Amino acid sequence: MTDFDARAISTIRGLAMDAPHAARSGHQGTAMSLAPLAHVLFSRVMNYDSSRPDWMDRDRFVLSAGHASILQYALLHLAGFGLTLDDLKSFRQWGSATPGHPEVGHTAGVEVTTGPLGQGVANMVGMAITEAQLRSRYGAELFDHHVFGICGDGDLSEGISHEAASLAGHLGLGKIVLCYDDNHITIDGETELALTDDAAARFRAYGWDVHELGAVGEDVDALEAGIRSAMAVTDKPSLVIVRTIIGTPATASANTPDAHGYAILDDEIAATKAVMGMPVDETFHVPADVLEEYRARGGRGAAAREDWEARVAAFDGDRATLEAQLGGNGLPGWEDALPSFEPGESIATRKASNAALQALVPLVPGLTGGGADLTGNTGTVIKDEGVFSAANPGGRQIYFGVREHAMGAIANGMALHGGAIPVVGTFLVFADYMRPAVRLAALSQARSIFVWSHDSVGVGEDGPTHQPVEQIASLRAIPGLRVMRPADANETAAAWRVAVASGGPTAMITSRQNLPVLEGTSADGVAQGAYVLREAADAAITLVGTGSEVAVCVEAADRLAELGVVARVVSMPCWELFEAADPAVRASVIPRAIPSLAIEAGVTQGWLRWVDDVVGIDRFGASAPGGTVLKELGIDADDLVARAQALLDD
């Protein structure tokens, strides 16, 4: 260890104590014990240019143990990513660039939003998939980088990490180097209270290369050698296990559960700084020569970046496709490739969704993905582009297996890496398994497309365990998630246009059963969130539907006309887009001057924000043919007509 190494590590540890102490909140001990490991990564190993954090061929760093965020912030400050010392002093405060857990898009140098344990491990798998696809498609001279990460006992305890690690080993993702902080401490006490797994054996069983470095948490040379040994393995992901002592070198709190949180206070901070040879009466101490050397190391990737830019400029392959993929765009004319369907046809929107996806794949080079063992069922088949595997890393069809939780987080990693628009699918009822990743997609504004089919009790005989009733409402409750439930095949194609052209995540919710292709559906109306499908002069009532229930509204309007009641019909495929529309547009679509009645085959929660009354299903479903279940639970034209008449009578 050089003098610079020792002083830099002490500086990081001092910041890891001072920032949480100033905030009276945070996690000191993990950041302190991991300071040597993170220092090795940022100052010796990783290839990056801190002046250009978005350089596409940079190595990625994921702090899956996101509670140790002050560790990453300290390194981003030292390496020159733009974080100031004042930013560190504002740790965890309102409006600061240093929130309690790392947030992508909020702090330069942060690649993914972590915090919920295990998510970062799965994000790494997604990043490595995209790196492999880009390298296969355009060559190693343009794309050849690693994905480094740090995780802890909590990450490896969560089920998502098991799912992600299993898939990564199966796919042979050799660019992953995951460092496991084996400190044997959790919040409740020693890990042995609840965890006696043999992590090394488990990961070897998953097909990983495992490097057990032992108690080298303070030995930077041994850490570097172990990491570089892992980097040399190209056909398997690597796990580097490092035994550390949480909170070291804190004089009293080290190796205790207290060190996991905010426990190292004034006297112990001073005593610990004295042990490290730092000024005991100065907070946020960063020696000028340490900062100068770290900034030099943070910028040493500039030459590699410039060489990469020259290689990109000289690229003589399909430049239009490369630029579209890196920009997250389609090639010219991609929107025109979307299919259209004739009124009178009958097609399930999951099948229409696949037709749209298949039409887009040749013209939107970033589109890639598949399903969680339900690829054909959910319409996430990608034909003629190969299956992603260790032998074929350029394949765009990905089989995730029965791993919904990891699949969602892997998609986020793919999207946030850049160069991919991931599409992942399962049944809507299993969105519950994916919810943490979907929430983080919204928080991160990751451009992930979640396709959820079998969207109602119309699933039928599988019964209430497989019939979603509350899922749509729960997804609409997530800020920043665009929930699309198209009424027919043409609305489905329009929803795909929105998903590909827009930033942030999209929930594409489709039917199992065939639905009629309706007269008057509008792509512009879908992009607006809601629109008048059938206008009527002197209308007495507005009927509003989503998905399969829009056809029910049309039928009910015809029935009401026979009874002398004139009804307008509104299709409302996306609440979020409608909320963003001009208030005058919203007032014209659902005017308050006449009663409005909505129908949706799910819980009624939230609908009264838009309408005066709603027909829905505020209970679980039942096992029977889908049409029977829908009728028995009141999702049909007869019930809608009756409720409309009752509303008019009121």
Does CATH place domain 531-649 in 3.90.79.10? no
Per-residue model confidence as pLDDT tens digits over 435-451: 999 999 999 999 999 99
Give CA–CA dist 546/530, Å, rounded. 9
Mean pLDDT of the region 153-161: 97
In single-letter form, the type of residue at position 14 comes to: G
Active-site residue set: 404
In single-letter form, the type of residue at position 177 comes to: V
Does CATH place domain 335-516 in 3.40.50.970? yes
Number of neighbours of residue 621 by Cβ within 10 angstroms: 26
SS3 110: coil
pLDDT of residue 155: 97
Per-residue model confidence as pLDDT tens digits over 613-650: 999 999 999 999 999 999 999 999 999 999 999 999 98
Cis peptide before 257 (omega within 30 of 0): no
Does CATH place domain 3-304 in 1.10.10.10? no
Give domain limits for the chain.
Answer: 3-304, 335-516, 531-649
pLDDT of residue 650: 86
Give CA–CA dist 371/444, Å, rounded. 22
Domain 3-304 and domain 531-649, same fold? Reply is yes
Cβ burial 401-423 (10 Å sphere, 16+ → b, else e): bebbbbbbbbbbbbbbbbbbbbb
Tell me the percentage of the chain whose pLDDT exceeds 70: 100
Give CA–CA dist 591/570, Å, rounded. 11
SS3 596: strand
Q: Answer whether 599's CB lies under 8 Å from 552's CB.
A: yes
pLDDT of residue 379: 98
Per-residue model confidence as pLDDT tens digits over 472-523: 999 999 999 999 999 999 999 999 999 999 999 999 999 999 999 999 999 9
| Strand partners of residue 304 | none
Query: Strand pairing of 531-534 and 567-571?
Result: antiparallel
Give CA–CA dist 529/495, Å, rounded. 10
Give CA–CA dist 205/277, Å, rounded. 44
For 535-557, give the DSSP string.
--TT-SEEEEE-TTHHHHHHHHH
